[in-house]
Structure 1
Amino acid sequence: MHQQPKATSLKQKLEFADLLKRRLLETYNDQIVAIGLYGSLGLGTSGPYSDIELHVITLDGAEIPGHEFIYDPFKIEISSREESAAIRRASEMSDAWPIKAGSNIHIHPLYDPNEFFKRIKKLPLQISDEQFLETMREFMIWEPYETMGKLRNAMHTKNLSYIPRGAMDFAWQVAKLIGLANKRYYTTRAKTYEESLQFVSKPAGYVDLVQLVMRGKLDDPEEVYMRCEALWEGLNAWFEHLGIEYTNTKLPW
């Protein structure tokens, strides 16, 4: 018989998270630097079906395995990182920054005697503007440019079933670019599109496409494709406005 996700209260989640903390400290006490809740519990927006997500930070050289499991009625995710690795992760820049930065900023400490989480929450916001722009340039080449090519190929070959999937990929990729351009992270993946619409800098055509995606109105491939083309035009004009040149004028070797 298949188990279904079950609703649990905030009180139940916090009590179980405290139990997990105590069990971890009993087992690995002298190896642990800090334990904290992230995700919706760390942010304070937990719903009845939300997971319990824990960061476990260890001394360098200590190895505590991470786990992701169901302990009915809870879904548990425990990430384990050495102290230096956690600092590097909080400081790094990638196209995933708008999605992941919040997990290093909104942490509710359960055990943190040396205020480790207070120190690392500043790191994602200390990345330079130049790094944000360079990440946008690289990501444009890796993902949106390629996705737009796939969309055009699909229209050329009349593979219309791909258009909705390609449009969703394209909208998600541009949402990440919008987060990078505004140096803003999304509170949760579930609110990415809604929050992206509130950010000041975004390309023309984005609102029209993302509203179709949010409403699930992707059954007209011709309309969806034209909105992707409009966003592509707006995306390139936006990059030009931001001073990001992503095409080469000579070969790299």
Structure 2
Amino acid sequence: MMGPREVIREERMKIAYIIANQLMEKYGTDVEAIGIYGSLARKTDGPFSDIEIKCILNSIEDGFSYEWTSGDWKAEVNLDNKQNIVEEATTVEENWPLTHGQFFTILPIYDPKGFFQELRQKASSVDNTIFKEAICKTLVEEMYEYMGKLRNIKIQGPETFLPALAVEIATAGAMILGLHHKRYFTTSAQVLPEALGLLNRPDGFDKLCQLVMSGHLYDSKRILDACENFWNGLLDWSKKNGYVINYSNSVPF
């Protein structure tokens, strides 16, 4: 049977080092650093986890990646420009809590100048105002739109989309909490459980998350009520924490 098959951590690490050596042979002195990221770097990898590697090059202009499978396992190698990856690591968007954990947990394979340590420091030193802007942006661009869809469904359907929408609303709420606390989530599978461990959560968030995590998303009224309650709680929470939705009757351009 074609993979993925079970691979023990030691074998996965051995493959990662083989890939790193091949990168060194191919790019030579142009290599600034090579490191493992993802679950393998965090030592939380399972028997079917991917191998994920970052290779920082000095002369490359635009990053690109190799992604392939041997049949038994899958690997992804991202080749990045040094300046570009620093810019990426210090940029805060609405999904920062899910995308940026990689910059804090990279496991160096080759890093003679300590580039990954420097990258980690820069990623953790982003000003709080940038996070505040990202939260306000998420409230308008994500949550406001989701609530519009929810209320449309309540009037005209289709209710079959409600389960997926509940997941999106709960996940967006978790992202807002992650941004508020400047905390990243370890993996997409842990977004909601880890968000529930954060302090200062909006009213209604816990019940919505528990509903989504239970998988019991067949009661349309229950979903609608849970999402509406969370939205009301989120608006109160945002006001208390200084996150303002700017309303305007005029076109802003």
Following superposition, the deviation at residue 247 of structure 1 comes to 2.8
- The CA deviation string for residues 149-189 of structure 1, in whole angstroms up to 9 with x for no partner, is 10110010142111111111111111101100111111111
Q: Deviations over 1:113-168 (max 9, x none)?
A: 11100110112221111111111101111111101110110010142111111111
Compute the TM-score of the two structures, normalised by the length of structure 2.
0.96
Match of 1:135 in 2: 134
How far does residue 94 in structure 1 lie from its aligned partner after superposition?
0.8
Partner SS for 2:52: strand
- Match of residue 206 from structure 1: 205
What residue number does 2:85 align with? 86
Range that drifts further, 60-69 or 240-249: 60-69
Mapped contact 1:36–1:108 kept (Cα < 8 A): yes
Give the C-alpha shift of residue 5 in structure 1: 1.7
Match of 2:33 in 1: 34
Deviation at residue 249 of structure 1 after TM alignment: 4.0
Q: Give the alignment's TM-score, normalised by structure 1.
A: 0.96
SS at match of 1:143: helix
Instruction: State the match for 2:14 in structure 1.
Output: 15
Distance 2:230 2:3 in 1: 39
**RMSD (Å) for aligned C-alpha atoms:** 1.4
Which secondary structure does the structure 2 equivalent of 1:54 belong to? strand
What is the identity percentage for the equivalent residue pairs of Structure 1 and Structure 2? 31
- Alpha-carbon distance, 1:62 to partner: 6.0
1:58 maps to: 57
* Equivalent residues of 2:52, 2:76 under 8 A apart: yes
CA displacement at 1:84 relative to structure 2: 0.6
Which structure 1 residue ranges, 5 or more long, are not aligned? Answer: none
Preserved contact between residue 147 and residue 166 of structure 1 (Cα < 8 Å): yes
- Give, in whole Å, the separation in 1 of the partners of 2:233 and 2:58: 48
Q: Which residue identity lines up with residue 28 of structure 2 in the other structure?
A: N
CA shift, 1:11, in A, is 0.5
CA 64–152 in structure 1, closer or farther in 2 if over 3 Å, else same: closer
8 Å contact kept, 2:33–2:57: yes
Give me the whole-angstrom Cα distance separating, in 1, the residues matched to 2:211 and 2:101.
27
Q: Is the 8 A contact 1:58 1:64 kept in 2?
A: no
SS at match of 1:66: strand
Q: Deviation string for 1:3-29 (max 9, x for gaps)?
A: 232110000000000100111111111
Q: Is the 8 A contact 1:31 1:62 kept in 2?
A: no
Show the counterpart of 2:76: 77
- Aligned partner of 1:214: which letter? M
Q: SS at 2:212's partner residue?
A: helix
Find out whether 1:46 has 2:55 as its counterpart.
no
In structure 1, what is the Cα distance between the partners aligned to 2:115 and 2:221? 52
**TM-aligned CA deviation for residue 60 of structure 1:** 3.5
Q: What's the offset of the Cα at 1:202?
A: 1.7
Using a 3 Å threshold, how does the CA distance of structure 1 residues 103 and 87 change in structure 2: closer, same or farther?
same
The 2-side partners of 1:80 and 1:9 are apart by 26
User: Greater CA deviation, 164-173 or 56-65?
Assistant: 56-65
How far apart, in 2, do the equivalents of 1:158 and 1:52 lie? Answer: 42
Determine helix, strand or coil for the equivalent of 1:29: helix
The equivalent of 1:229 in structure 2 is 228
In the other structure, the counterpart of 1:161 is 160
2-structure distance, mates of 1:88, 1:28: 23
Aligned mates of 1:206, 1:15 — CA distance in 2: 42
